[in-house]
Structure 1
């Protein structure tokens, strides 16, 4: 998963997506999914794209994609909740494009 993503000049801080096969149902991977799945830094940490696995109220598991600006983790610059694993790659690519439009 994510092999097709071009992070451009982004510095991959960590990428743990290799732990999971997103072709299988996500419920089979609950122990392997965590808040820390991918983090990529752009422009000397001015922007960080970060994605993790979280549980919403009611126990629904989702991916949350954040764009962090100037290390303000308390107030993400942009946030997207991804309910379908098939949308992860598209959403990350959209965030990468967005970061470059900000420059």
Structure 2
């Protein structure tokens, strides 16, 4: 669960079925799917969404992280992809920091 690694207390809604950063990816194949994690921040109309896209067979897929503003999935603020858990962890950290700054700037903090 990502909430074991990052603070999502300010999210309005969360789905957190994310895998562990502490286990090899090859040992978590059954847990990889598109809708693994999302957090919605209604005060600033931002959604952080992370999932696995592609086949888990031989790890032929990638994680994709989306930052979506006002439910505009056709034009994400950010779309990043990787197969590497350490890179993904960095992407998530940067995205959470961006969201926290948006919340502070909006006065929602």
Q: Report matched runs for 1:23-34 at 5 Å.
A: 23-34=22-33
State the distance in 2 between where 1:4 and 1:30 align. Answer: 20
Q: Deviations over 1:23-81 (max 9, x none)?
A: 3332343332100111001134600000000128xx73211100010011122111111
Q: 2:39 aligned with 1:40, yes or no?
A: yes
**Which residues of structure 1 form unaligned runs of 5+?**
none
Partner SS, residue 13 of structure 1: strand
How far the C-alpha of 1:8 sits from its partner, in A, is 4.0
Q: Aligned partners of 2:69, 2:100: CA distance in 1, in Å?
A: 13
Unmatched 5+ residue regions in structure 2? Answer: none
C-alpha distance in 2, partners of 1:40/1:15?
A: 8
TM-score, normalised to structure 1, is 0.77
Alignment of 1:3-82 (within 5 A): 3-17=4-18, 20-44=19-43, 46-55=45-54, 60-82=60-82
Whichever structure has more helix as a proportion of its residues is: 2
Alignment: residue pair count: 99
